[in-house]
Structure 1
Amino acid sequence: MTAITRRAAFGAIASASSSLALVTAAAAAAPVEGDAVKPTPQQRFDNAVTELKAAAEALDPNIYQWTVNTNDDKQCGIVIAAFRTTTTYEGDGWYESRYEWGEVKRVLVTREPEHDKKGERWFRIRPPGKKFGVLMGEHDFRINYGPKLA
């Protein structure tokens, strides 16, 4: 029979107590059934905004950008805005203009394939009676102009 030294006995006790402490800490950290951890207000807000965005984008696939601001020091505490495209390219022709040059409420849009960059289509936008216009990428065209008129 082997003799147990005092040093070996104390080592075994220390090892067992540290293992017991780890098991106890893990059990205390585990949520008890019916005692769920409550999310913070910020987590609840973030989850609600995520759900709102998903539902809105499912209803309106034209949404391309979101703005979510909380203004703690201003009268309007929360601003949530969804920006959406207002047109799609349906061939060269007249499109509604949200920007007016006097009485002009339409622009002539022509496709300019020689200016295409990185897979994005480019267009020339001209007010009536003007020979030259501005070049614009498809993304900017879709968010700045209205539907095709003629």
Structure 2
Amino acid sequence: MKRRNLLKCFPGAMAAPVALFSAPANGGEQTAQERFDWHLAELKRAAEELDPMISHWHLAHPKCAGDYLTLTARRVTGRYTGDGIYESGQETVTGGRVHYRVELTDAVIDGARTFKVSCSGEHRLLLEYVLETRIGKRVGVLS
């Protein structure tokens, strides 16, 4: 079997090539960094279209030769919709959910809002993107 015929076995393998990036604003060639940034933004956009619960991307550059370039994202389990009682985003071992008291604070750390989160004997100050990976839906109001 010829290589071209082998490629026909895979869906999409023979699709016509498409332009992978838009024309540069300055009318010339894009730099490698501009192409990298554009493709990274496209990857993030496509991933978020596939799963709208993906949030807070982090790109870790290698510190030395042989290290991996890693791109990670958090998957949110809930969104803050005002101070109140929220259930946990995941079930406990026994199948129940923990309830958290969540209150917005005035503090801002690295541009992110902070929240005072507490439940039976546990009190924390969490950044918004961390909170969204811990909480589920809002189940009550604060009294």
TM-score (norm 2): 0.47
- Structure number with the higher strand fraction is 2
Compare relative contact order (CA 8 Å, sep 6+) and give the higher one, 1 or 2.
Answer: 2
- Structure number with the higher helix fraction is 1
TM-score (norm 1): 0.45
**Max Rg structure:** 1
